[in-house]
Structure formats: structure tokens, C-alpha cells
Amino acid sequence: MLVLLLMYGLLGSSLVSAKTYYHNFVIKETKCTRLCATKNILTVNGQFPGPTLYAQRGDTIMVKVFNNANTNITIHWHGVDQPRNPWSDGPEYITQCPIRPGTGFTYNIILSEEEGTLWWHAHSDWDRATVHGAIFIYPKIGSSLPYPKPDKEIPIILGEWWKSDVGEVLAESLRTGGDPNISDAYTINGQPGDLYNCSKKDTFKVMVEYGKTYLLRLINAAINNELFFGIAGHKLRVVGTDGGYLKPFDTDYVMITPGQTMDLLLFPNQPFNSSSKTQYYIATKPYASAFGVRYDTSSATAILQYKNFKPNKLSPSKSPSFPTLPDDNDTNSATDFTTKLKSLASQEHPAVVPKEIDERIIITVSMNLLPCNNTTPCLGPQSGRLAASLNNISFQEPGIDVLDAYYNQIPNVYGEEFPQEPPFYYNFTEDNLPRVLLLPKLATEVRVVEYNKSVEVVFQGTSLLASENHPLHLHGFRFYVVGRGFGNFDKDKDPQSYNLVDPPLENTVGVPKNGWAAVRFRASNPGVWFMHCHLDRHASWGMDTVFIVKNGEKPEEQMLPPPKNMPKC
Ligand SMILES: *[C@@H]1O[C@H](CO)[C@@H](O)[C@H](O)[C@H]1NC(C)=O
Ligand SMILES: *[C@@H]1O[C@H](CO)[C@@H](O)[C@H](O)[C@H]1NC(C)=O
Ligand SMILES: *[C@@H]1O[C@H](CO)[C@@H](O)[C@H](O)[C@H]1NC(C)=O
Ligand SMILES: *[C@@H]1O[C@H](CO)[C@@H](O)[C@H](O)[C@H]1NC(C)=O
Ligand SMILES: *[C@@H]1O[C@H](CO)[C@@H](O)[C@H](O)[C@H]1NC(C)=O
Ligand SMILES: *[C@@H]1O[C@H](CO)[C@@H](O)[C@H](O)[C@H]1NC(C)=O
Ligand SMILES: *[C@@H]1O[C@H](CO)[C@@H](O)[C@H](O)[C@H]1NC(C)=O
Ligand SMILES: *[C@@H]1O[C@H](CO)[C@@H](O)[C@H](O)[C@H]1NC(C)=O
Ligand SMILES: *[C@@H]1O[C@H](CO)[C@@H](O)[C@H](O)[C@H]1NC(C)=O
Ligand SMILES: [Cu+2]
């Protein structure tokens, strides 16, 4: 028996080759009713949330996208490293021109070491509000999960819903220079839940059986908000994040930033008797770290219901209870959760943390203010226009994509002057910074990195306008989050307390409010890779930049050639 199992294992890992899957995504306008109001939303194949993609480690997924809507669009495969293949990464005007109405483009999604949960979403304007879905990546045949095999998997996609058109919310904000309108609801798998008016029947419900094991694949697809998440009466066991495994730990709540995923085990273990509840709220509410910035203060719910035990409608005491979640502004609880994330770092899933670095890049992450320059009054603070920057550069989207310009050596599209450190050192986290610091430089600057260099990026939050937790997302890589702290990063002192043993491997890191986060990765993926805040209002205001990782010498260290039929600008 043992011999057979061993043989199966060997066969499984060595002889079963990677597979390729084919999917069609048709982007279209679809009528959708929420909160008793109907509007048209963009969907994939008429579904909201969109279809889940399934694969095993190392497989390839081909998605033929056809744009049947009346707006430009692109799709990004969030957290997929796409080795040597920036052509299929998706961010509009960074690695491709948009897929125009009536045209299509086939993405070649190359999985490598990712295992767990990732997701896909539109990467043009705020289209991703409704154009998104999950990617489940299983171990190769012959390897197994490093945690108890779940009896069932449940995708939980957290989102944000506006009664009005999301494109208009963005356009209005850019036109007036003010904050965009806050959303009208959060959603769980597309449904706001019964705490909202006129949303009683729009509630996602999960049936569970006592004693079984469930894997919740949690994705934060919200546009502008970090979120707390929890289930009344139940602890959750965190076992993975961003397509990688974690050392398991139990928690009452999760803090998840837009862009991140969390794999959570749920064990329905509540006792039953004549007076116990049979329904529990699954809930999400904002973690809003900025002071004085308006945000959607509501909560979305779904229902966890035990099978075989009907809720007693006569007894109001048996209505579901709400989980105990931290206060909206509870940065301590958000931090407590985040610091518990540690890589599994096992023999089968080692943490390959760069111990030495070739280059440290320090990047300030700031909100900014531009003067009002038009005839209509500006609605930003101090009658200015809101902007945002990395190292004081507010990224300006080019007219053709950076990848095309790099590959075909087209001049005057971008510059290579993204600074290696802040152009000016001040007390980044001081309360009342002088107004003169608010003005950024408007430019399209990238950072060029040599192939295979070991890179450390330190994100330094600043308190300009409003300090806030910023979820910084890097395309093309997952990075080890080796350090994090409050206040100003100290390059002599802070690296001494880095975790170089089992730091979490993530593609999106929440940079603490008024603090810093240090991440490390080896630049072994040649290409053009976007890096930006995953709060879309900040990304739209310029909190973005691009890494260009040069080719190595050998052919297998170089970018793949472009596919045929790349969209043209
Ligand atoms: C934003 O909110 C304001 C105030 O409620 C409203 O007048 C405006 O129409 C809204 N804009 C959009 C695009 O929904
Ligand atoms: C529901 O409607 C009532 C009355 O109009 C209002 O006070 C309350 O804030 C609404 N609740 C939500 C969650 O929108
Ligand atoms: C019934 O179950 C609840 C939990 O759902 C528990 O708190 C309570 O003690 C139980 N009562 C009895 C009589 O077992
Ligand atoms: C959070 O908000 C509450 C209520 O507005 C306030 O009393 C508390 O001081 C705030 N806490 C923090 C850490 O800002
Ligand atoms: C004025 O504002 C518009 C739109 O906000 C912008 O495109 C333009 O570059 C600005 N002009 C100057 C001189 O700053
Ligand atoms: C920076 O500002 C913070 C907040 O006001 C203060 O606590 C800290 O001492 C200042 N640091 C330096 C080096 O002045
Ligand atoms: C940012 O750039 C602007 C425009 O070049 C400049 O005026 C300002 O001093 C810079 N601020 C910082 C903090 O480097
Ligand atoms: C990349 O760097 C690592 C660590 O220094 C080294 O082991 C590896 O051989 C390098 N690869 C190439 C292609 O230079
Ligand atoms: C769609 O993309 C094309 C190509 O970049 C561009 O010329 C056009 O202005 C875009 N349309 C809209 C509405 O943004
Ligand atoms: Cu941000």
C-alpha cells in the first residue's frame, strides 16, 4: 500500500504534465437590480461576480476576451507572476492598449509557483467594480494541501456597489478634483445582504453541516476600502494568502485590503439544542484608517445556515447575530491581524527570502493637492484638486502602453527617472506638514532594474493631507513582506528586526497608516510591471509607477515575443 502510494506520488509529480484550459469571456452590459434600483453594469458572460477559473499549479489558462460593451476594457490576472510574459498582464496603457468595443484579445495566463486563491479583474478605469472573479489553483497531482482537505469550497468575494454608474462616479471626481462619491453598499458575492433597506431577498446564503470542514476563498474586490470580515460564533483558521500558504492560526476576524486574498478554514461546530441559533451572519465592514475622509460606513452580510435545522421564525431571539468585528478606525486590531501572517516555510513550500539585497528603493506614498486651474470651482480640500504620488511623482497615463514603447523603443512615452529614494527628506509622519509639500510632479517615470537583482522596496507612508493604510500592489512578482512599522523608516535600525525566516509572500501589502512596509523580491521576471495603490481612487490620482526589469543574457531569461493581434492604440 505504502509502495503504491509512493509510486503514485512519484508518477504524479514527474509524469503528469501541465495542462492548458480555454475560456471565453464576453464583456457586456447587463441589467442588474440591487437595493431596489436597476442599472446596467459591465459583466463577463452576464455574470456578477464573473466566472471562477480553476487550474492546478503550473498550468496555463487561455482566455479569449471579446468586448461586446461600448467601453474600452482590459483584464488583469491579479497575483499571477506571468513569467516572461507581460504581454498578457493587462493594465491599460502599461502593458497593452485597451480592447476596444467590437474587438477581442486572447490572454495567455501562465501559472508557475502560485497555489491557493487569486483573482482576475478589469484593469481599465473602475470597470473592475463589476468585472471580476476568482482563480482557484490546486496542488499538482501527487502533492497535497498542507492543511485538512475541505469537504467543500466557498468563494467569498467582497465588493462595493454604487447605485449610479461607476464610470460616472470616477469621471465626476476627476472633473471636480474632489473625492469620489462613496459607495451605497458593500457586497458579499454580489449581494448587499438584509441589513440594507430593500435588500432582504438579496442575501447570499451558505448551507453547512455540523462537523464538516469548509474552505472559504476570500477576495477583497472592493474599489476603495479595506475591510474587516468575520462570522458570528465561529473562528476562522487562516491557511493562505495571495496564492501561497501560511502557518495556520485561528482568528475571530480578518483584515483584508483590496487586491488581497485569504484562504480560511471554517469548522461549523456550534452546539444545537432547542434554544440555539441555526443561522449566523457572515459579515464585512470597513477598516477606514484615514481621519476626516468620508467612506461608506455600512456593513454587508450573508447567512451561514446549518443544514437540517430550520430557523424558528417565531422567536426573534433566534435572528442571526452579528460577528464581533473591530471598530472602523481600529488600526491596532488591523495591525494585530496582519502581523500574524507568516509563510508556511516548510520543506515542500520553502520561503526563499533574499538574504542580501543589491538595491534598496525607498518610496514615499502620498496624497497631494494640485491648484485649481479651470473656471469651475474645484471641490478638493482648500479648493484644490486631489492627486496622489509615489516619491512625489504623480503618474500620468501615457497615450500608448509602456510595454510597446519599451519593446519597440518608441521615444517620449515614458522617462526612466523614477527616483531611488524620496527627492526630499522631511518628517514624513508629522501632523502638520507645510503646505508647500502638497504639490507633486506630474510625470510618467519608470524604475529600471537589472535582471536577477535582489531588490528591497520600502514604502513610506506620509501624513500629507490624510495618512491612511495604502495597499500597494506589484504586478509580475510576489514579494516577501520582511518588515513593517509605524513612523519613519530608519535604514540603520529597522532592517535589524526584519523577518528573513518566514515572512508572508504577498502581491499586495497594506502599508500601515503613518508607517512603512519593506518588501523583497528577486527581479528574475523580465518585463514591464505596474505597481500601484489598490485603492482605485488613489491609483486614478497617480499613486502608481512601473518597474521595467531588463532581460538576462540567456534566451530563457528574456521576455517572450509579443503575441499576434495585440490591441493597438
Ligand atoms: C454624487 O453625489 C452627489 C450628492 O449626493 C450627487 O448630486 C451626484 O449626482 C452624485 N454623482 C454620481 C455620479 O452619482
Ligand atoms: C434605511 O432607511 C432608513 C429610513 O429611510 C434610514 O434611516 C436608514 O439609514 C437606511 N439604512 C440603510 C442601511 O441604508
Ligand atoms: C444550547 O446551545 C447554546 C449554544 O448554541 C449554548 O450556549 C447553551 O448552553 C445550550 N443549552 C443547553 C441547555 O445545552
Ligand atoms: C475611533 O473613533 C471613535 C469614535 O469616533 C473615537 O472615539 C476614537 O478615538 C477613534 N479611535 C482612533 C484610534 O482614532
Ligand atoms: C488643468 O487641469 C486639467 C484637468 O484637471 C489638466 O489636464 C491640465 O493639465 C491642467 N493644466 C495645468 C496647466 O496644470
Ligand atoms: C516626526 O513627527 C512625529 C509626529 O509628530 C513625532 O512624534 C516625531 O518625533 C517626529 N520625528 C522627528 C525625527 O522629528
Ligand atoms: C515635488 O515636486 C514638485 C514639482 O516639481 C516640487 O515643487 C516639490 O518641491 C516636490 N516636493 C517634494 C516633497 O519633493
Ligand atoms: C540569480 O541570482 C541568484 C542568487 O544570487 C543565483 O543563485 C542565480 O544563479 C542567479 N541567476 C542568474 C541567471 O544569474
Ligand atoms: C479607447 O482606446 C483608444 C485606443 O487607446 C483611444 O483612442 C480611445 O480614446 C479610447 N476611448 C475612450 C472612450 O476612452
Ligand atoms: Cu492608497
Per the prediction, the chain carries an average pLDDT of: 94
Is the model's pLDDT at 392 over the cut of 90? yes
Q: Do 321 and 444 belong together in one domain?
A: no
Q: Per the domain annotation, does 277 fall within a domain?
A: yes
358 close to ligand 8 (CB < 6 Angstrom): no
Ligand 4 is surrounded, with C-beta below 6 A, by: 327, 329
Ligand 8 pocket check for 552: Cβ under 6 Å: yes
User: What band does 202 get if pLDDT is binned at 50, 70 and 90?
Assistant: confident
321 lines ligand 3 (CB under 6 A): no
Q: CA nearest 365: which of 568, 261, 505, 514?
A: 514
The number of residues in the chain equals 569
Residue 15 has pLDDT above 60, yes or no: no
Residue 567 placed within a domain: no
| Ligand 5, atom 11: closest residue by C-alpha | 373
Q: Identify the pLDDT of residue 311.
A: 54
Residue 178 CA neighbour count, 13 Å, CB half: 13
**Residue 17 — very low, low, confident or very high, per pLDDT cuts 50/70/90?**
confident
Residues 115 and 250 in one domain: no
Q: Which of 154-168, 197-211, 508-522, 545-559 has the lowest mean pLDDT?
A: 197-211
- Whether 82 has a pLDDT exceeding 60, the answer reads yes
Query: Of 338, 369, 385, which residue constitutes the final position of a domain?
Result: 338
Q: Which of 138, 169, 191 is the last residue of a domain?
A: 138
The answer to whether residue 2 sits within a structural domain is no
For ligand 3, the distance from its centroid to the CA atom of residue 276, given in whole angstroms, is 6
Calpha distance 139→120 (Å, rounded): 19
For residue 13, pLDDT beyond 60: no
Tell me what the mean pLDDT of segment 487-512 comes to. 98
Q: Would you place residue 455 in the very low, low, confident or very high pLDDT band (cuts 50, 70, 90)?
A: very high
Ligand 7, residue 426: give the atom nearest the CA: 13
User: Per mean pLDDT, which range of 12-26, 231-245, 278-292 is the poorest?
Assistant: 12-26
Asked whether residue 542 is assigned to any structural domain, the reply reads: yes
Q: Is residue 14 part of a domain?
A: no
Average pLDDT over residues 345-366: 97
Residue 198 belongs to a domain: yes
If asked whether residues 65 and 188 sit together in one domain, one would say no
Q: State whether the beta carbon of 179 lies less than 6 angstroms from ligand 1.
A: no
CA 429 to ligand 6 centroid distance, Å = 7
What pLDDT, on a 0 to 100 scale, did the predictor assign at position 312? 54
Cell 467590437 belongs to which residue? Answer: 102
Atom nearest to 164 CA in ligand 1: 14
Task: Name the percent of the chain lying above pLDDT 90.
Answer: 89
Same domain, 244 and 207: yes
Residue 109's pLDDT is: 98
Residue with CA at minimum distance from ligand 1 atom 6: 181
For residue 533, the SS3 value is: strand
- pLDDT of 307 over the 90 cut: no
- For ligand 7, atom 1, which residue shows the shortest CA distance? 440
**Contact in structure between 217 and 254 (CB atoms under 8 Å):** no
Which of 250, 226, 116 is closest to 510 using CA atoms? 226
Q: What is the pLDDT of residue 200?
A: 80
Kindly report the CATH number assigned to the domain that includes residue 31: 2.60.40.420
Are residue 379 and residue 436 in the same domain, yes or no?
yes
398 C-alpha to center of ligand 9: Å? 12
- When pLDDT is averaged across residues 61-85 and rounded to a whole number, the result is 98
Q: With respect to residue 272, please indicate whether it lies within any of the assigned structural domains.
A: yes
Q: Are residues 128 and 157 in the same domain?
A: no
Give the position, in ligand 5's atom list, of the atom nearest the Cα of 373. Answer: 1
Q: Which ligand is nearest to the CA of 192?
A: 2
Instruction: Indicate if the pLDDT at residue 458 is higher than 90.
Output: yes
pLDDT band at 373 (very low <50, low <70, confident <90, very high): confident
Q: How many domains does the chain have?
A: 3
Do both 545 and 426 map to the same domain?
Answer: yes
* pLDDT at residue 309, as a whole number: 65
Q: Which atom of ligand 8 lies closest to the CA of 524? A: 1
Task: Tell whether the model's pLDDT for residue 100 goes beyond 70.
Answer: yes
Tell me how far the alpha carbon of residue 538 lies from the centroid of ligand 5, in angstroms: 18
| One domain for residues 314 and 420 | no
181 occurs within a structural domain: yes
| pLDDT category of residue 316 using cuts at 50, 70 and 90 | very low
Q: What is the pLDDT of residue 349?
A: 97
Query: Does the pLDDT value for residue 139 go beyond 80?
Result: yes
Q: Which has more pLDDT, 17 or 117?
A: 117
**Could you tell me the pTM of the whole model?**
0.94
Q: Are residues 30 and 55 in the same domain?
A: yes
The domain of 74 spans 20-138
455/507 same-domain check: yes
Label residue 28 by pLDDT band (50, 70, 90). very high
Mutate to test the pocket of ligand 8, among 524, 553, 554, 557 (most ligand atoms within 8 A of CB): 524
Residue matched to cell numbers 535582471: 451
For ligand 7, atom 7: residue with the closest CA:
439
Residues 434 and 327 in one domain: no
Asked whether the beta carbons of 118 and 79 are under 8 A apart, the reply is yes
Nearest CA owner, ligand 1 atom 1: 181
In this structure, the answer to whether residues 156 and 94 fall within a common structural domain is no
Ligand 1 in contact with 172 (CB < 6 A)? yes
Q: Where are the alpha helices (DSSP H) in 201-340?
A: 331-338
Provide the pLDDT confidence category of residue 14 given band limits of 50, 70 and 90: very low
Q: Dihedral of CA 268/274/275/280: which sign?
A: positive
Nearest ligand atom owner, CA of 194: 2
